[in-house]
Chain A
Amino acid sequence: MSKLTVSFILNGEEVEHETLPNRTLLKMLREDFDMTGAKEGCGAGECGACTVIMNGQAVNACLVLAPEAEGSIIETIEGLSDGTHLDPLQQAFIDNAALQCGYCTPGMIMTAKALLDENPTPTYEEIKEGISGNLCRCTGYKKIVQAIQSVADQNRVGHGND
């Protein structure tokens, strides 16, 4: 089996990286780039704990092979804040106490980010549906939906109530 070089943009930075093909994008991010935000829950597409944004779309990093990253733009939870300011979603999760153990949180936030990028002002129902690919064993979801809702509300004000 030969190693491959994959070039992609990771949180805004161009990277060129050697990897074996028989591993997932999730493993590569966690083990080679020390980006341990995305978690492996099920490893089979069921739980969403591994969600990252690939070319603008939320995907399960456990169902992408490392070499499939070639030429793509990948965003992970680590790229959300600029080091000083949290992303509004991160702040909203804190303000609404939308996490307990935190295992699902990076995936949940990346899913919510993709949702809001597509539709900045989703309804309550759209938020619930939007995060239905992410499981949380702790919170009961209510506060998670509230947190996302609060950012949607800010957006709504920003958008002049459209």
Chain B
Amino acid sequence: MRPFEYFRPSSLKEASELLVRYGDGGHLLNGGTDLIVRMRDGLTLPSAVIDLKGIEQLSRIREDEESVYIGATVNLNQVGRHETIGKSFPYLAEAALSVGSKQVRNRATCIGNLCNASPLADTATPLMALDAVLEVFGPEGEREIPIRDFFVFVRKTSLKPGEIVKGVRVTKTAGQGVFTKLARRKEVDLSMVCMTLLKAEDGWRLSYGAVAPTPVRLPKTEALLNQGAALEEVLSCAVSEVKPIDDVRASREYRLEMVKVMLKRGLEQIEKGGAVS
């Protein structure tokens, strides 16, 4: 690993100032399961590593009557085993527990999963379906970013220099949802395609991962589902709304086929009343 300075600030302000001071060389360290692997492979060469885990206020899950808020440094096992998340958003809990191994999830965070902005980030599709909101701290103060506006491209988010995600907020929504992850192995493998299908009070919500440069919502397909269109029409619309590529894990053709299969099965499951996949 190339040399760098390590910082463990205890406030967001301090962390943000360090980020600004080091510019492109400053990298936030959360669970490190993406960043440390990239540093080891020489893909990211930080001049400063700014560890967020010393900032107390980021380490908790909070909830009130309307919403649940996951702090930036909360790990994926904590998300997956949280009582309210398990009850209100079982598909989010399931997505969290589908990442890596137990050891990886004891370090990896949900916010790191989002900020890493991989097209296959497993916790992204449930949060997209839930219209989650990211709470952000930056040099110019605080702001909120709806998750739809957060992912810009592969590994690129709409965060500005010096900005840090404090946490992600989801509104408690009545409804049934299904998370499906298709991978080559049952454990410790990345998604070839992942999907969240949610039947909320105000209609259907559908999102996919690993079929475009960012995780995506499929608004046209959602509209067809809301109109009660025929299954064939719904499925071909879904395929028209994604742009998968060939890569080491799967071909474009296979992914397109799986987009249909996963949606069809998801619809069947929700019809049967199964809230969890």
Contact = CB atoms under 8 A, between A and B. Distances in A.
A59 B104 CA distance: 7
Nearest to A45: B104
Interface string B54-90: 0000000000000000000000010000000000000
Interface string B32-60: 11001100110000000101010000000
A116 interface: no
B6 A111 contact: no
Interface string B20-37: 000000000101110011
Contacts of A57: 77, 106
A9 interface: no
Given A68-B53, A133-B103, A43 B40 contact: yes
Given A111-B102, A130-B102, A133-B104, A21 B32 contact: no
Contact of A44 (B1, B2, B40, B107): B40
A17 to B, nearest CB: 14
A133 B1 contact: no
Interface residues of A, number: 33
B32 A1 contact: no
B133 to A, nearest CB: 29
Most buried by B among A48, A60, A67, A129: A60
Contacts of B77: 57
A43 B4 CA distance: 19
B76 to A, nearest CB: 12
Contacts of B5: 1-2, 21
Nearest to B101: A133
Contact of A20 (B3, B8, B29, B36): B3
Interface of B: 1-6, 8, 29, 31-33, 36-37, 40-41, 49, 51, 53, 77, 100-104, 106-107, 186-188
Interface of A: 1-2, 4, 20-24, 43-46, 48, 51, 54, 57-60, 62-65, 67-68, 70, 111, 114, 129-130, 132-134
Closest 6 CB pairs of A and B: A133-B101, A21-B6, A132-B187, A1-B3, A22-B1, A57-B106
